[in-house]
Amino acid sequence: MRLIFLGPPGAGKGTQAARLSKHLHLMHVSTGDILRRAIAYETPIGMEAKAYMHKGELVPDEITDLLVRECLVRDGASKGFILDGYPRNLEQAKQLDESLDSVGVGLTKVIDFAIDPNIVVSRLSGRRTCPKCQTPYHGVSRPPLRDGFCDLDGSELEHRIDDKEETILRRLEVYQEQTEPLTSFYEERGLLTRVDAVGDADTVFDRLLKAVGK
């Protein structure tokens, strides 16, 4: 199964991708997580991406196209994957087509997580993230077992720098301007399936399993 997860910031793409990749043994490729790791390790890519991410802007396509192409080639796209946060504009979608052609596979489905922007703002302002494994928590909907620390590796949870309200609003604008047009792009190809992202994570996961036919 080769999937793209679309949806605004805070729709729950990362949460559901982590669950589905475990359930179906798929590779989970999150460009946001890869970039945050690059920033943490102060790599040249991380240093270039940092300013864009902190402002809620997209990082340049050349960076994300290269990161995704490397993952697909290195880790074997034919075994199945979830692309979470990529592509984010039409140029990236075209680059993805080329990358997939080069490894000889196509997409199975594109899942669009549908949610009201007002819900997204409260989800993101309450999010705390593990800096090591990137697992997202939330004070109300997904509290960690020990307050302030990751259940999986014990790291101290952080408030993502782009989860400040003004940056969240900018990320939503960027999503509407640049990423939302991809829903028509994939709908025209008969690949798009919408999943209602409102409700608790278990309910959304059940809908997702139905949407992917599992």
Binding site for ligand AP5 (CB under 6 A): 7, 9-15, 31-32, 35, 52-53, 56-59, 64, 85-86, 88, 92, 123-124, 127, 136-138, 141-142, 162, 171, 199-201, 204
Least distance (Å) from ligand AP5 to the CB of residue 12? Answer: 3
Residue (63 or 190) nearer to ligand AP5, CB? 63
Least distance (Å) from ligand AP5 to the CB of residue 213? Answer: 21
At 4, is the secondary structure helix, strand, or coil? strand
Residue (93 or 190) nearer to ligand AP5, CB? 93
- Which residues are within 8 A (CB) of 165 and not within 5 positions of it... i.e. 6 or more apart? 121, 125
The conformational region for residue 121 under phi > 0 = left, psi -120 to 50 = alpha, else beta, is alpha
Name beta bridge partners: 196.
Answer: 114
Q: Is 128 a catalytic residue?
A: no
- Which residues are within 8 A (CB) of 38 and not within 5 positions of it... i.e. 6 or more apart? 45, 46, 49
The residue of the chain with the least Cβ separation from ligand AP5 equals 32
Residue (145 or 190) nearer to ligand AP5, CB? 145
Q: Is 88 a catalytic residue?
A: yes
Catalytic position from the list 19, 69, 128, 160:
160
Name beta bridge partners: 110.
Answer: 4, 192
Cα 202 to the center of its chain, rounded Å = 18
Cα 46 to the center of its chain, rounded Å = 17
Q: Is 171 a catalytic residue?
A: yes
Least distance (Å) from ligand AP5 to the CB of residue 86? Answer: 4
Q: Is 2 a catalytic residue?
A: no
Residue (37 or 74) nearer to ligand AP5, CB? 37
**Cβ atoms < 10 Å from Cβ of 58:** 20
Residue (37 or 187) nearer to ligand AP5, CB? 37
For residue 163, CA distances in Å to 128, 150, 168, 169, 188 come to 9, 18, 6, 9, 33
DSSP 157: P
Least distance (Å) from ligand AP5 to the CB of residue 186? Answer: 15
Catalytic position from the list 13, 36, 69, 128:
13
Catalytic position from the list 2, 19, 69, 127:
127
The residues annotated as belonging to the active site are 13, 88, 127, 160, 171
